[in-house]
Chains A and B, each alone.
Chain A
Amino acid sequence: MKLNSREALQAFRSECKAALDKQKYKILVCGGSGCLAAGSKKIFDCLNNALVSRGLPVQLSIEEHVDHPEPVGLKTCGCHGLCSLAPLIRIEPAGILYMKVQPEDCDEIIERTILQGEVIDRLVYHDNGRAYSRQEDIPFYKSQTRVALANCGHIAAESIEEYIAVGGYSALEKALFDMTPDEVIAEVSDSGLRGRGGAGFPTGKKWSQVAAHKDAPVKYIVCNGDEGDPGAFMDCSIMEGDPHKMLEGMIIAGIACGATEAYIYVRAEYPNAVKRLSKAIEAAEKYGIVGDDIFGTGKSFHISISKGAGAFVCGEGSALTASIEGQRGMPRTKPPRSVDHGLFNAPTSLNNVETFANVPVIINRGAAWYKSIGTENNSGTKAFSLAGNIKNTGLIEVPMGTTLREIVFNIGGGVRTGTFKAVQIGGPSGGCLTEEHLDLPLDFDSTKKIGAIIGSGGMIVMGDDTCMVEIARFFMNFTKKESCGKCNTCREGIPRIQAILERITHGTGEMEDLDMLQELSSVVKSCSLCGLGKTATNPVLSTLKYFKDEYVAHVRDKKCPAGVCRSLCTMWIDPLKCIGCTKCARNCPTGAISGELRKPHTIDPEKCIKCRECKLGCPKHAIKEV
């Protein structure tokens, strides 16, 4: 059914809304990557069975006809964010969030919560002796402001009808019928929206540069969903959890720029996102929202998906377009910039997933509203993925300018083990933030000032069991592999830096190495061709700046303070934990472990070759590296 006019869309929206409002209860099972991995699909099936076996009127999609005035909606939604407690389900209208739900809990949930209206205490969030039955009261959610992720976890992820029911595609409607393309661009420019992919380039400015090519026979909108930073999964969650919001942003961009063709470049590592996006595009085509003659306006917009093939450098604009063209994803010298010569040499607006997801709300609620969130020059919100050594791992969205303390200690609940040491922000291109930065308002400009970047928003929290020299080595190892090899400094410089770090973590570094690291890193930073090389050495420079003492400990004292670098550690058995089971002594290939049965064992460091067979096999985790 094509919606061929504004009236048709509005009529369809009221129809969808009425169908959604009819559902007395809504059970939303999280279908994000994290929850799926924890078995949420099985939970969905069990809940369905439990509903059906009780003869309850279950409705799996609002399109489905159920012969009952108040059906129970059961749906798969996008990421709820609290991934460490997966699988999660939300029950509306009460707003209950159940966590770590197991198949055997499903009958009880239907029986007690749906039929009798009770809250099952053991499944809700507990903190400091308090139980939180409502999702919105949990500290993790309370301090967040969800704009891009507003629908994530609240509507069925794969349903265009539900998206339309909650006001979806109304921004597109407004842009098409009430605004001119120039007004759309002006609204986005005024909102101060900056590219959420990392560089923070003003989105409206980019669009106006593409729109300025009035005579170009074809122009492109490209969505960068190549979320390559290890440890970042915000874009994945948007693509999986609310794909239509992103599509809507893309179509609005197309109308503003006068572009009719679009590509979404998604990492191949996100099969779920690819599946849901394909489904979303198909549904949008069915209703005439994507394709030719959108809502009878005569405007066209076509979207294709291009799957990445595993190259970090393809997150860079010119490499990404080369990859869509079927070539090796190597960046080229700029200018010309992609707004002038982008995909297939045509003017191209390349924006990130989260940037597009912010567009509909800006059009709907206006630039002034959007600007009221965040800080001066950094308006709106930013999604971050919180991972590493932190209690509440997951997906969050906060206003720009929120402090690191708020994110790590209030929302994240603090470190999981040990004490807080640093946060690596911006992935392999970013730097680390330490205790002294806890009260820094996080935005594009403030992080840049201290040698880090917000990047796409990956945040890895590290405690005292993480060695900062080893982390720098880890990132150099990563960028060494991912360097495309085109320019000299990146191709040759990074392996040299990595080799030095390798030496230091093996205890054979010298004090001169630290100066060499500094010098080489600065050269790679200033002389590389693209963003990958220009930012690749940030992790080295920032750890050198903030954790020089750790480097010195490795080089001069031949010690790894965090107990991570194996060559610098000795294996040690904690006599309080050892139960004397003799397993380690039997596993040891060099006979370095001795001790009597049921008495604490000891390791002879002279004989030990640090193969760690003992540690890996110990049932009591009594063996440590110190």
Chain B
Amino acid sequence: MVKVDLTFIDSVLDKHGHSKTKAIAIMQDVQNEYKFLPKDALSYIAEKLGMSEAELYGVATFYENFSMNEKGKYIIKVCNGTACHVRKSDDVQEALYTATGMKPEDHMSEDGLFTIERVSCLGACGLAPVCTVNDVVHPAMTPEKMYKLIAELREAEGV
């Protein structure tokens, strides 16, 4: 379980003037810090903004980018926008699951290293298919390149 630092949350709330209309920006800042939205943080934000937990949870779950689950050290986003799809991003995605030993329903690999996300368009369509590892873009991916990439990340971690 992640321990939530309430003074940090307070600083975020201050930055956005404790405004209910900034709920999304506040949650974005919190997620930037923890990579996901810890439950305790959500309850605290809801209380401070004068919203019910259900209301804030409703906003958080509406948007694809907010996650309620803990993330791995490397967040790998495989683009499945139309351009990437037409250039066979499915094969890249499949190779990624094989290489990490993960299943589509897993939020994080067992060793805590990887989280796989499938996103619709990263805006680098000219280099399709692309993936990002912690927001660093890897262009023109192939299954072979994906195997190599995962092996390199593992090696860097000494696994």
Q: Cβ of B94 < 8 Å from any Cβ of A?
A: yes
Q: Cβ of A34 < 8 Å from any Cβ of B?
A: yes
In A280-314, the 8 Å CB interface with B consists of 306-312
A 255-279 to B, binary, CB cutoff 8 A, 1 in contact else 0: 0000000000000111100000000
Instruction: Give Cα distance in the complex from A411 to B121, angstroms.
Output: 23
Asked whether A326 lies within 8 Å of B124 as measured between CB atoms, the reply is no
Q: Cβ of B139 < 8 Å from any Cβ of A?
A: yes
In A223-248, the 8 Å CB interface with B consists of 227-233, 236
Asked whether A309 lies within 8 Å of B28 as measured between CB atoms, the reply is yes
Q: Cβ of A612 < 8 Å from any Cβ of B?
A: yes
Q: Cβ of A388 < 8 Å from any Cβ of B?
A: yes
Asked whether B65 lies within 8 Å of A310 as measured between CB atoms, the reply is yes
- Min CB–CB distance A67 → chain B (angstroms): 38
- Min CB–CB distance B57 → chain A (angstroms): 11
Q: Cβ of A325 < 8 Å from any Cβ of B?
A: yes
Q: Cβ of A9 < 8 Å from any Cβ of B?
A: no
- Min CB–CB distance A50 → chain B (angstroms): 24
Asked whether B64 lies within 8 Å of A33 as measured between CB atoms, the reply is no
CB-defined contacts of A424 to chain B, threshold 8 Å? 82
CB-defined contacts of A478 to chain B, threshold 8 Å? 120
Known A83-B127, A327-B59; contact A309-B82, beta-carbon cutoff 8 A: no
- Residue in B28, B83, B139 whose beta carbon sits within 8 Å of that of A37 in the complex: B139
Q: Cβ of B9 < 8 Å from any Cβ of A?
A: no
Asked whether B25 lies within 8 Å of A306 as measured between CB atoms, the reply is yes
CB-defined contacts of B59 to chain A, threshold 8 Å? 326-328
**Chain B residue at smallest Cβ distance from A240:** B123
Instruction: Give Cα distance in the complex from A616 to B95, angstroms.
Output: 8
Instruction: Give Cα distance in the complex from A329 to B130, angstroms.
Output: 28
**Chain B residue at smallest Cβ distance from A330:** B62
B 100-134 to A, binary, CB cutoff 8 A, 1 in contact else 0: 00000000000000000001111111111010000
CB-defined contacts of B27 to chain A, threshold 8 Å? 309
Instruction: Give Cα distance in the complex from A325 to B62, angstroms.
Output: 14
Q: Cβ of B143 < 8 Å from any Cβ of A?
A: yes
Instruction: Give Cα distance in the complex from A271 to B77, angstroms.
Output: 14
Instruction: Give Cα distance in the complex from A462 to B82, angstroms.
Output: 10
9-residue interface stretch from B16-24, B68-76, B148-156: B16-24
CB-defined contacts of B66 to chain A, threshold 8 Å? 309-310
- Residue in A33, A329, A460, A616 whose beta carbon sits within 8 Å of that of B82 in the complex: A460
Asked whether B82 lies within 8 Å of A427 as measured between CB atoms, the reply is yes
- Min CB–CB distance B61 → chain A (angstroms): 9
Instruction: Give Cα distance in the complex from A310 to B22, angstroms.
Output: 16
- Min CB–CB distance A397 → chain B (angstroms): 15
Q: Cβ of A323 < 8 Å from any Cβ of B?
A: yes
Q: Cβ of A114 < 8 Å from any Cβ of B?
A: no
Asked whether B21 lies within 8 Å of A328 as measured between CB atoms, the reply is no
- Min CB–CB distance A468 → chain B (angstroms): 11
- Min CB–CB distance A479 → chain B (angstroms): 11
Q: Which of B21, B27, B123 has the most CB of A within 10 A?
A: B123
**Chain A residue at smallest Cβ distance from B146:** A616
Q: Cβ of B135 < 8 Å from any Cβ of A?
A: yes
CB-defined contacts of A227 to chain B, threshold 8 Å? 123
Asked whether A230 lies within 8 Å of B94 as measured between CB atoms, the reply is no
Asked whether B87 lies within 8 Å of A268 as measured between CB atoms, the reply is no
A 454-474 to B, binary, CB cutoff 8 A, 1 in contact else 0: 000010101000100001001
Asked whether B24 lies within 8 Å of A309 as measured between CB atoms, the reply is yes
Q: Which residues of B contact A (CB under 8 A)?
A: 19-25, 27-28, 58-59, 62-66, 80-87, 91, 94-95, 98, 119-128, 130, 135, 137-139, 143
Q: A33-B123, A233-B124 are in contact. List 18 more A-B contacts (CB 8 A).
A: A33-B137, A86-B127, A86-B139, A227-B123, A229-B82, A230-B120, A230-B121, A231-B81, A269-B122, A309-B65, A310-B66, A326-B19, A326-B20, A326-B22, A326-B23, A326-B25, A387-B82, A393-B126
The 7 closest A-B pairs by CB, nearest first: A83-B126, A230-B81, A310-B64, A309-B63, A37-B137, A387-B83, A231-B82
Q: Which residues of A contact B (CB under 8 A)?
A: 33-34, 36-38, 83-84, 86, 227-233, 236, 268-271, 306-312, 323-330, 385, 387-389, 393-395, 424, 427, 458, 460, 462, 466, 471, 474-475, 478, 484, 612, 616
A-B contact pairs, 5 of them (CB 8 A): A37-B137, A233-B124, A309-B24, A387-B128, A393-B125
